[in-house]
Structure 1
Amino acid sequence: MVPSKESLSFQVMVLVNTGTDFESKNTNGISHFLEHLCFKGTKKRSSNLEITQVLDNVGGSYNAFTSDEITGYWAKVASKDKNLALDIVSDIYLNSQFPEKEIEKEKGVIIEEINMYRDIPQYYIWDLWHKLLYGNQPAGWSTLGVKQNIKKFRREDFLKYHLNQYRSKSTLVVISGNFHKKEIIEKIKNGFENMSQGERQNKIGTKEKQNSPQVLLEEKKTDQAHLLLGVRGINLFDKRRYALDILDAVFDGGMSGILFQTVREKLGAAYYISSIVSYNTDYGFWAVKAGIDNNRLETILEAILKEWKRLKISLLAPKEITKAKNYLYGKIALSMENVHEVANDLSYQELLKKKIETPQEYLQKIKKITVSDLRKVAQDLLIPQHLNLSLISPYKDKEKLIKILKKNF
């Protein structure tokens, strides 16, 4: 719970520790499909309209999401409507009926969602990236699933998955905004009293093996080359993540960061470019995502790799480290202005780590990181045998790309 008397709004979010990483080959896509179906009718509200109209009538915002390890349902309303939001979110989470007719209709919706993602390179590049890094295991599969699975899912599949995964010890109810704690606790107890007890089924651990640079190239006629270039990283529990966060802030700390200045300002070769550090419970990565000039692909890859290599070879200047630490401090300070964003961050920690690190504790650890710590994590992670490139472009010469990765890293 993250209360704020000054807030005019109230948000309830229910998270379950399940997602794509908990699926099998035959059930890939079921987590996301089930999330859709939770808006199709409950015992109390028989249709999508009965669920959505009451929230629309009070100007509420609501949605759901599915990721590798978390599925979530949320509603945000004016504080006076908090009981309504809590009732609806708990209802769709616990009491969805998964009507056969709605399942058949939603198959078409999800297949079109898959088609949409395939047509948008900025989205589809992520599927290629996960496939390249993790291959034929849950971490390498698309959250949306594959069409053959979507077409064959039946009501019994959703009932079984919901029973196995949506259980008390894998569920977290998150409340933020303007509310009275004692009153809300009672409401939560009443709303979730009939929930299935115990643990959800565990996921299979992610296996990683790579001995040389890899490229996954999807030839497509595009005006830009869309890419993800990066290395295997560390998981959520690795203590080196504080140093990695600082390195990433040096590399991509806003418009004055190395990445933006090199590729956009000096080379003038990209509109969107950024780096991403991702931490899951048993894997992670550090990558650059960009849309760049097709004709200058090789030059830009070499430029990015050169800057990453510098982080590994050369000691960072004190002013670069200070700027990066200040950047992280400022970003956290700004994020704490939004009570719901604070709640989101703390809830993810609680669900995945079973432990909350406050922003103050995090910043204390950031403050203690030294130049030697930064150089060590750069040397640990920025290694040629863990380098990967996924690419959507008319470019055809995969072998040449592999040579560029080997030569410049």
Structure 2
Amino acid sequence: MPVGETLETPCYTQIHRFDLRKEPGLAIEWQISRLDNGLRVVTTPVPTAQSASVNVFVGVGSRGEERRTNGLSHYMEHMLFKGTTRRPDAIQIAEAIEGAGGVLNAYTSKELTCYWNQVPFDKLPLAMDVVADMYRHSLLAQEEIDRERTVVQQEIRRSFDQPGAWASELLARATFGDQPIGWPIAGSIETVEAMNRDDFEGHIATHYVPSNTVLSVAGNATHEEVLRRAEELFGDMEDRPAPAPAPAVDQFAVDQVVVEKREIAQCNVGIALHALRRKDPDRYALTVLNTILGRGMSSRLFKEVRERRGLAYSVGSGASRFNDIGVMSVTAGVTLEHLEEATTVIRDELFKMAAEPPSEEETMKARDFATGNFRLGLESTMALAQRAGESLLMTGEIEPIEDVVGKTHAVTPADVQRLAQRLFKPGGFSMAVVGPGGDADRLRGILAAG
């Protein structure tokens, strides 16, 4: 097991170190500190890297919003790039990082907002200064709010114009119904239009507070260097409690099957079910189950739906875990004439996993695929910083890489079948179709059949 130690210092509350290099063959460590005001700092040093990735995570996303302000977290993400007291316009913010050879961006999800940049390692002080300046000193000028409003609305319209993306939005609504976890991350044209400067200022005052924030840095940098700079940039902030989002209700929408007709050649299909929360003990089995079902060209769905029956060009599955609920989904692109057959085949493949366990060989291949893909996904400083920051913010800890690999390799065929029986039940599915047609009642009947 990785060695853990806690160090007390006069300047900072705690430093937690998880030193994986004390284990044979391992070379990743991270250290966690908490400033006196509650802001957490995690570093993943990679001494051989030529880059440093700086990420600020804030614990608010679309599920932390009210109906009237749905989309505010995402809109705020845009606004923090529009000027600060020291860099009063978007060009100066961009030039500060890009002029050093770096890149910068941000994203918003259901549960968090992240601002990040990546720079050559010797530009780390600049990178931290820019992201702290954005986080703390954004102007939120009315002129920029009004100008960016159109940009955000165009982003929403673009999603509507892309049938696959819009099918995903409809699927989220069908899966969770009218509650924040089912609302769109970007909001709607109407909610974005109605937002005002007071909404932005209130959002920052409520959520952008030290105890709701994690600074995560990975790359060629020391923990001491990052910690010292973090204290200079964030240490004088006052903390106050940030509200937690309302718990998700485990329910579907009244209309579990939604069909939106468009004059296009293909039906963009999504089928979903309620799955596992972020820390559910079965999460490792879910990784293996999902891999067997729909990851890659050797998955069951790809082989049955595409290779054997020729019903779709693309088909696959995925899973997302939130703090108190989760979702698993299957997506496919099919012609109208194959829509009902493809839905039946997908349903049957799900129930087949519940009816009998996969073979040991199939399970082993899925374990190897999943763990190998997991390792390869952590090759960059950006990936390491993102994993550490999100995990620390969402769960309060960072699970050692070898623990994830070991627990995934421990999943058995019986574990996969047991989880499939837990998840796959007649009538326990939602569905969204965007395409040239489809009979919602007939599709509902297919999904309801055992």
Q: TM-score range by the shorter chain?
A: over 0.9
List per-residue Cα deviations over 1:38-69 (Å, max 9, x = no partner): 01111111111111122222221110111100
Instruction: Write out aligned runs for 1:77-96 (5 A).
Output: 77-96=119-138
Distance 2:179 2:363 in 1: 38
Equivalent residue, structure 2, for 1:268? 310
Distance 1:396 1:251, change over 3 A: closer
SS at match of 2:218: strand
SS at match of 2:297: helix
User: 1:173 deviation in Å?
Assistant: 0.1
Distance 1:133 1:211 in 2: 6
Are 1:334 and 2:372 counterparts?
no
Are 1:228 and 2:270 counterparts?
yes
Distance 1:354 1:10, change over 3 A: same
User: 1:283 deviation in Å?
Assistant: 1.0
SS at match of 1:234: coil
Percentage of matched positions with identical amino acids: 29
Which AA in structure 1 matches 2:292? V
Equivalent residue, structure 1, for 2:321? 279
Distance 1:212 1:160 in 2: 33
Q: 2:287 aligns with which of 242, 245, 266?
A: 245
Which AA in structure 2 matches 1:148? E
Equivalent residue, structure 2, for 1:113? 155
Distance 1:394 1:321, change over 3 A: same
Pick which of 193-202 and 379-388 moved more. 193-202
Pick which of 93-102 and 185-194 moved more. 185-194
Equivalent residue, structure 1, for 2:412? 370
Pick which of 207-216 and 222-231 moved more. 207-216
Pick which of 43-52 and 186-195 moved more. 186-195
SS at match of 1:123: helix
SS at match of 2:221: coil
TM value normalised by structure 2: 0.88
User: 1:210 deviation in Å?
Assistant: 4.7
List per-residue Cα deviations over 1:1-38 (Å, max 9, x = no partner): 11111111111000001010100111111111111100
Equivalent residue, structure 1, for 2:84? 42
Equivalent residue, structure 1, for 2:144? 102
Which AA in structure 2 matches 1:164? T
Distance 2:54 2:388 in 1: 14
Distance 2:106 2:223 in 1: 24
SS at match of 2:427: helix
Distance 1:110 1:357, change over 3 A: same
Structure 1 vs Structure 2 CA RMSD = 1.6
Instruction: Write out aligned runs for 1:161-310 (5 A).
Output: 161-210=203-252, 214-310=256-352
Distance 1:68 1:374 in 2: 28
Distance 1:118 1:253, change over 3 A: closer
Which AA in structure 1 matches 2:339? L
Equivalent residue, structure 1, for 2:112? 70
Assess if the C-alpha contact under 8 Å between 1:175 and 1:343 holds in 2: yes
Are 1:311 and 2:353 counterparts?
yes
Which AA in structure 2 matches 1:386? G
- The gaps in structure 2 that reach 5 residues or longer are 1-42
User: 1:254 deviation in Å?
Assistant: 1.7
Distance 1:85 1:347 in 2: 16
Q: 1:140 aligns with which of 173, 179, 182?
A: 182
User: 1:211 deviation in Å?
Assistant: 10
Equivalent residue, structure 1, for 2:33? none
Equivalent residue, structure 2, for 1:129? 171
Q: 2:97 aligns with which of 31, 55, 72?
A: 55
User: 1:337 deviation in Å?
Assistant: 2.4
Assess if the C-alpha contact under 8 Å between 1:212 and 1:385 holds in 2: no
TM value normalised by structure 1: 0.96
User: 1:323 deviation in Å?
Assistant: 0.9
Distance 1:28 1:196, change over 3 A: farther
Assess if the C-alpha contact under 8 Å between 1:212 and 1:384 holds in 2: no
Distance 1:119 1:90 in 2: 35
User: 1:244 deviation in Å?
Assistant: 1.3
User: 1:180 deviation in Å?
Assistant: 2.7
Are 1:344 and 2:386 counterparts?
yes
Distance 1:45 1:210 in 2: 46
Distance 2:400 2:325 in 1: 23
- The gaps in structure 1 that reach 5 residues or longer are none
Pick which of 225-234 and 203-212 moved more. 203-212
Assess if the C-alpha contact under 8 Å between 2:295 and 2:316 holds in 1: no
Equivalent residue, structure 2, for 1:391? 433
Assess if the C-alpha contact under 8 Å between 2:96 and 2:130 holds in 1: no
Assess if the C-alpha contact under 8 Å between 2:336 and 2:438 holds in 1: no
Q: Which runs of 4+ in 1 moved over 3 A?
A: 210-213
Which AA in structure 2 matches 1:59? G
